[in-house]
Structure 1
């Protein structure tokens, strides 16, 4: 089913008025952030990333990451986590993204009493582009599980994470990743057949360039079940790769899914991606919102004023990431966050 963004006003207003003691306490939290490291069994694939979490730390936030184009990312670096046990959201970045792309979302969640885990996916990060690692697309969903497992043993966070209240969200290729973590299965033959009829599709070009599914030895792993049974709900953010999935596996998804798409449709064809995904999922479990005038990059951080001009001058072609990327993007973040917060509460991940 499809919901218009602005039809949520009444339910959100009621939720804000009917504040429980738990929610009131969460509003007193401040955003803490720390780095973590993890590794797949055998150590063949090393991971790093950030974890955002609620803290009671006082004083000013410190700079986590600065940029000439992106707005500064600040938080309480390495602060002690607040007392309590908190829900967990795993967040997957997009193609050639990184663990700070959705820091804006993780920071807001931390202030509401949520721990967010944001790993860098080897081979598909901003500064780690490796086609051979990217080819192993099946490992992206497992990166989330491995990162979560590691943090459950980390003395900083182990006693504060509730493994029964877990969600996953991801942007673009990260949307593909969280759907795989929810049980969607890659179907190489199905995908290849679709690309024959539409070879100009972005997803066809990208996966072909990485040689995903080209090697017969890869197919068993590529098409294997990568689901994490701890996940209660997933939220793909303008996902890319919906056509890679076996339709039967999408129909078998047994958890609520909030599909957020970009109304401006400036990067991905919604008929092929978010609309198609929503149509393929069980009607009773899917909510599809195409956010009015949102672009693909509005799910990433906000740009500084003049960021568009800097990229147009220094990296021609990349300026697309900053289209409507300053104050208009911040307003979109407010809308996106309201939708996500409402969904996490409705599904019981958050109180």
Structure 2
């Protein structure tokens, strides 16, 4: 299989195996803590492991389910990574009574469920059930050339996840089927927009991805041999819209150039488009701004977060994170640029935008 051409921004390694391989389950090394902010929120952040049980034996889906607990001041933090600060959680905490909206989140290229665990924790505290799975083939721990090539399976993963949760899982009675939402970061944003009704356009892909000066997404898709056969083109162009999802959230997505403009214009569900004002990884003109321009004006909101970077949608880095990555994974230290207090402030802004969008 062809490999993406080297990029100084190290696109393919943006979520490195070495850093996340050191992360243990959230249930380890508990340390009880409480903060003024946490105590003001209505719920605590419960979390449990999640395995989707359906008839797809060829593509196992595993991840984490976050949920509201009735004890907002009780949570724990695992401390098994030297680079990343773990999200606050109450592992296997007693679920709060009631029915809650469901938010499914798709991670970025070679990412995993830890990447947006911070967001899941914050949303659980605000009364949301949040589900995240590792996409086979394009996750940190499950890299496979054939599965990566079958990029159309990513939105199917989330539809399967929703079906399991609302139809057969032990959590089905706790989910409000009228309030199902989807969000995704980077390639996860691309995945989320496919669920909203966006469609891959082979002709656009061929015309846009023609030379070395192509968008970042082109090198990724070419490297994974996406849509190189007629069968794969048909699969990629097949509509993957999930009507059960009421609202969609794009977190600095990559891949807008290969979407059919007519399919974007036809999306009739609310979409929140969050972009990175610092534009350290993706050209906003051809990504989030272009997505906003193509969507119906009255059904979406576009916010370009000033000073935010692509990796601010991931977790917070520890103070030593930048130096550790620079020494052991040269080039990957970029994920921790402004990754401490500055990123925590970006997280607060992101959560405010998401909550406002979902609850308006």
Same fold (TM over 0.5): yes
CA distance in 1, matches of 2:56, 2:183: 27
**What is the TM-score normalised by the length of structure 2?**
0.86
Match of 2:48 in 1: 34
Give the distance between the partners of 2:215 and 2:84, measured in 1 at CA.
Answer: 29
SS of alignment partner, residue 221 of structure 2: helix
Choose 230-239 or 55-64, whichever is displaced more. 55-64
Q: Which residue of 2 aligns with 1:146?
A: 160
**Cα displacement string for residues 75-128 of structure 1 (whole angstroms, at most 9, x for unaligned residues):** 111223211000111111000110111111111110110011111111111122
Q: Gaps spanning 5+ residues in structure 2: where?
A: 1-38
Gaps of 5+ in 1: 1-24, 347-351
Between the two proteins, the alignment pairs up a number of residues equal to 322
Following superposition, the deviation at residue 150 of structure 1 comes to 1.4
- Taking the aligned partners of 1:115 and 1:226, their CA distance within structure 2 comes to 23
CA-to-partner distance for each residue in 1:237-296, whole Å, 9 max, x for gaps? 000001121111000000111110000000000011001100011111121111000000
Which residue pairs with 1:264 in the alignment? Answer: 278
Alpha-carbon deviation of 1:59?
7.5
**Contact 1:64/1:77, CA 8 A, preserved across alignment:** no
- Equivalences for residues 265-280 of structure 1 within 5 A: 265-280=279-294
Equivalent residue for 2:25?
A: none
Q: What is the 5 A alignment of 1:1-351?
A: 27-38=41-52, 41-57=55-71, 60-63=74-77, 66-153=80-167, 156-196=170-210, 199-346=213-360
Distance 1:331 1:58 in 2: 21
The range that moved more, 203-212 or 59-68, is 59-68
Conserved? CA contact 1:175–1:238, under 8 Å? yes
Bigger mean CA deviation after superposition, 62-71 or 217-226? 62-71
How many Å separate the matches in 1 of 2:156 and 2:210? 29
C-alpha separation in 1, matches of 2:238 and 2:130: 26
Contact in 2 for aligned 1:98/1:125 (Cα 8 Å): yes
Cα offsets for 1:303-346 (capped at 9, x unmatched): 00121111001100100100000010000001111111110111
Q: Secondary structure at the match of 1:184?
A: coil
Tell me how far 1:233 sits from its aligned partner. 1.0
- Whole-angstrom distance in 1 between the partners of 2:74 and 2:176: 28
- For residue 235 of structure 1, report the CA deviation from its aligned partner: 0.9
Contact kept in structure 2, 1:39 and 1:45, CA below 8 Å? no
Which is richer in strand?
1
Measured on the aligned residues, the alpha-carbon RMSD in Å equals 1.8
Q: Per the alignment, do residues 242 and 120 of structure 1 end up closer, same or farther by CA in structure 2, a change over 3 Å counting?
A: same
Q: How much has 1:58 moved relative to structure 2?
A: 7.6
Instruction: Measure how far apart 1:74 and its partner are.
Output: 3.2
Contact 2:257 2:286 in 1 (8 A): yes
